[in-house]
Structure 1
């Protein structure tokens, strides 16, 4: 194999995987809802059983994050996700309205292209595989090369779960030779029905420009506004919990603390009490130089690393128990020249003081419009009118209140659907503002019966009664009995 061109090998691999996935999906199309649920439950069970193994593999291979938090991610993507989706109707006739005489039929996309990042490799692979199969699709995963082994092991386990239920293993597969050319082939191929893109901005843009329907997510750059009525101790605990979870590798994690002058010193003191280290100006300069890579973007060497390790890289001495490195920023320090205003994917925070909630509102929007529009904002307050004001004005798809942004955004501590693909809406360049679920992975075929005669639509006509008296329940039973032949 060493003599082969890797790009050509990757493209051929993708074509073979797609052919097998398409054949497997045709078999899945004949399954009932109960049979599909059995498959997804088996996938959830085996992922849960191996949650620690997969977390350990991911950390060892990528160097990002920490095992205990990746275990939590794997459980969120398996057991917790299953509990959220198990009762969803995703096969055949999924809804009917007797009064309007409408039926809705789920129509799977067929094959999903699942692009999986290195920051959340095993959990994202589990999540995308489960929601794809639940919606009646096969999935071919394009793994980030830096996490190939961990993702491949995840897929092996999921395939074994499918095999144990007598289902085709090729409902879930993974590229063996991931290259940009191979992934491009996967996204553009006629057998790919939809793309689920989670990763860097360039990759997401490529997914949307591929010509294939796509659901992608933009970067997060989450401000956490601690307002004067907040429970400061609890708010700080939530911010640190979210920021340190897996060392900041989730896109919904906090990137900035914004707080009012009247409580700023108290917030700062509480942050120090709970393990934050506030950098002096010389130390800020050293960290800013480290955050940037030679091309001016984010330095991948700091991604998913603990605060003390990042400080050592920058030549800054901090206490060994330090949880988060914090740089206080002037009000106008937002943009490419101010790395602490970026999404940093590590336990680094910017700290901004503002006069009041109005100025906080403006600063949060400025940070989001620089990077992270459409994603997530965290608000810590007891003022319900302020919550409503922020809900009406902020350019985000998720406003999480009095909870860690990381956990709240992915649905771990809120009522949002558990997900590792978080839509950013039109403002963020995404086709959806939702946390993506199986309901996003099929189209709907509407069956609509005539209710009135067309002649009655004329302005001088009176409405008539129903065209026919239809027994919609009997018709539904008939359609269900014929679905397997379609």
Structure 2
């Protein structure tokens, strides 16, 4: 089959999926809370039963990450997510304000398009399927070609589980012949009401350019600042746990470590003790050359790989048991390649004089590809936390692994695999996306103020002519002056 035939079939398949899912969604829109909850419970059950097989399939197909961590992500995107969203009111009357006499009624958005990344393919498909159904929406996925099999399987399992529990057929779809044309077709087709895009900057930008509502999330370039009051062993342990989780494939993972001069040696020793290897400048350059292609885009061969695989590819020798590679950097930008996002087991390492310099460096790093996303700080000083809360991000993660903290696993944030970066990062939301972002709210508003008669205040002719209610004419001023003079004269006579 030539490319032309493939593209035609791809576009036609996409149109069919959109039509079928939209038809199903119009039926799902009539379901009540009990029916929806029954469907989601079965989806969660099936996701749990297949968490391991989906994780294995994802690693085999993409080569990214670790099976055990992808199992955790699949369970987190289903069971943990369900516990969080279960009490959410997304159907019917969701608020009745007796004082202001406003009734709020939830309505579904319609058909969603879900763009799925290769780094978290099955967990993101599960998560988006569940939040779509919770808000009575249908969804059609556009998978990354490098993760087609596992994304397709996750989508099929979710659709079959939903239908088995009473959902209309074809409520969850997935393109099986992915192409640029099919993705563009799905973005712009009339059936799709909203796009949820999780992926690279180019894909997110395309989603926002499609001419319809979109929730897109850009990259993270998370700085992790270890402040002088921090519990150093605990801080290093959190960073190592986060950066090695699924070999760093989650965009909330740390990308740079920042330490103060007064604790530099102690932090470096702790990293070495826990499995970190500090590369020489020459080794750092060799690794950086392997990490990036075409500028500072991550090479697919290096995404989500172990430290051993990266070191072997770069031709450098590292101690057995090394978990993370660290390279010292003296600045931010093109001359310092590790200052960019690295979705793998490599960290940049910076030394600063004090917290003010750490502040400036964090801002530079965030503006280098992660503005709006997340920042990590390890400290026992609450005032320092609040100083860093002023930085241009929407998640300030304190004394926790930023991977787990950002997605809501180790913090009280909403469990999510779509982390909004706000307007600073070119996103329509700064939240962790939940079903509440996928509903329209209709409002019934009773009159509570009487405007049945004209109550507009009237102005005098002089004020109207002056153009300002505070303007006073010259005659008025002279009259006041004369009255004051007369009053003073009378007092003098007395």
Decide which of 358, 361, 365 is 1:360's aligned counterpart: 358
What CA distance in whole angstroms lies between the structure 2 residues aligned with 1:310 and 1:270?
A: 22
The corresponding residue for 2:231 is 231
1:10 CA drift (Å): 1.3
Offset at 1:418?
Answer: 0.5
Aligned to 2:434: 437
Per-residue deviation at 1:279?
A: 0.4
2: CA distance between counterparts of 1:167 and 1:206? 31
- 1:2-13 alignment to 2 at 5 Å? 5-13=5-13
Cα distance, 1:152 vs. partner? 1.1
What is the aligned partner in structure 2 of residue 478 from structure 1? Answer: none
Aligned residue for 2:283?
283
In 1, Cα distance between the equivalents of 2:213 and 2:328? 42
**Partner in structure 2 of residue 80 of structure 1:** 80
TM-aligned CA distance change 1:322 to 1:36, over 3 Å: same
Q: Which residue of 1 aligns with 2:103?
A: 103
Question: Is the contact made by 1:307 and 1:322 (CA closer than 8 Å) also made in structure 2?
Answer: yes
Judge conservation of contact 1:247–1:306 (CA < 8 Å) in 2. Answer: yes
Unaligned runs of 5+ in 1: 462-486
Offset at residue 456 of structure 1 (A): 7.3
CA distance in 2, matches of 1:458, 1:347: 68
2:200 equivalent in structure 1: 200
Moved more, 164-173 or 73-82: 164-173
Which SS does the other structure have where 2:440 is aligned? Answer: strand
Give, in angstroms, the shift of residue 292 of structure 1. 2.2
Q: Residues 405-451 of structure 1: CA distance to partner in whole angstroms, max 9, x if unpaired?
A: 00000000000000000000000000000000000001111111001
Q: Distance in 1 between matches of 2:410 and 2:334?
A: 32
Q: Number of matched residues?
A: 458
Offset from partner CA, 1:31-77 (integer Å, 9 cap, x none)? 10111111111111110111111100000011000100000100110
Partner of 1:319: 319
Match of 2:410 among 388, 410, 413: 413
* CA–CA separation in structure 1 for the residues paired with 2:412 and 2:79: 16
Q: Structure 1 residues 3 and 193, CA, compared in 2 at 3 Å: closer, same or farther?
A: closer
SS of match in other structure, 1:166: coil
- Tell me which structure has the larger Cα radius of gyration: 2
For residues 333 and 96 of structure 2, the distance between their equivalents in structure 1, rounded to whole angstroms, comes to: 50
Aligned to 2:156: 156
Give the TM-score normalised by structure 2. 0.91
Matched, 1:339 2:337: yes
Offset of 1:359 from its aligned partner? Answer: 0.7
Between the aligned partners of 2:334 and 2:151, the Cα distance in structure 1 is: 33
CA deviation after TM superposition for structure 1 residue 336, in Å: 2.4
Secondary structure at 2:30 match in 1: coil
Contact 1:308 1:319 in 2 (8 A): no
Cα distance in structure 2, aligned partners of 1:282 and 1:194: 47
CA deviations 1:325-351 (Å, max 9, x no partner) are 000111xx2112321101010010001
> Following TM superposition, by how much is the alpha carbon of 1:7 offset from its aligned partner in structure 2, in angstroms?
1.6
CA distance, structure 2, for counterparts of residue 426 and residue 291 of structure 1: 29
* Cα RMSD, aligned residues only: 1.4
Match of 1:384 in 2: 382
Shift of the alpha carbon at 1:25? Answer: 0.6
Of 443, 449, 460, which aligns to 1:446?
443
| CA–CA separation in structure 1 for the residues paired with 2:27 and 2:277 | 57
User: How far has the Cα of 1:459 moved from its partner?
Assistant: 6.0
Deviation at 1:297, TM superposition (A): 2.7
Query: Which residue of the other structure, out of 420, 423, 439, is the alignment partner of 1:423?
Result: 420
Evaluate the alpha carbon distance shift between residue 450 and residue 318 of structure 1 in structure 2; reply closer, same or farther with a 3 A threshold: same
Q: Quote the residue 1:182 is aligned against.
A: 182
